[in-house]
Amino acid sequence: KTYFSDSVLSNTHSLFFHSFVDSFSLSVAYVQECIVGTGVNYRGRRSVTASGIKCQAWASPIPHEHNFLPRRNRKKDLRENYCRNPDNATSGPWCFTTDPNVRHQDCGVPQCSQGRTHTRMSISFF
C-alpha cells in the first residue's frame, strides 16, 4: 500500500496496486495557493468563499445565471468550482456561490508574501 498525503487539504489518499510493483514514479505539480497582485493568473484549487460558502461550478447556471462560462472563457481556466478572477477584480479571486441568497463572494486567497506559496505533498511507501 502507498499513501499520498496532501497537506493543503489535510487528506490522505490510498493508492492500491493490483499486481506486484517493483517501483513507480510519481510526478507532482506544485500549485500556487496564493496570489500575486489581483490574482488574475491564480490557478489554485480553493473552492469555498472567505466565509465558507461552497462555490458554484462555473459551467452551471444554478443557482446564479452568469456569463462567465468555461467554453467562452477558455484562457481564464474556469474549471470545476475553483475560485478565479476572470474580470480582474481588485479584491482578488472570487466565485459565484451555491447559496441562492449570496450571488458571489471573494475567496480570501492570500497574497504570496503573506502565506503559503505552494501545496506541499508527501509520499510514504509500506
Higher pLDDT, 115 or 41: 41
Residue 23's pLDDT is 63
What phi-psi label fits residue 63: left (phi over 0), alpha (psi between -120 and 50 degrees) or beta? alpha
CB 31 within 8 A of CB 43: yes
Residue 113's pLDDT is 83
Q: Where are the domains of the chain?
A: 2-30+115-125, 36-109
Residue 29, pLDDT > 80, answer: no
CB 117 within 8 A of CB 33: yes
Question: How do beta strands 2-6 and 11-15 pair?
Answer: antiparallel
Residue 18's pLDDT is 61
Q: Which of 31-35, 62-66, 73-77 has the lowest mean pLDDT?
A: 31-35
Name the CATH superfamily housing domain 36-109. Plasminogen Kringle 4 (2.40.20.10)
**Coil, strand or helix at 71:** helix
ω before 63 within 30° of 0 (cis)? yes
Q: What is the mean pLDDT of residues 67-92?
A: 92
Using 50, 70 and 90 to split pLDDT, how confident is the model at 73?
A: confident
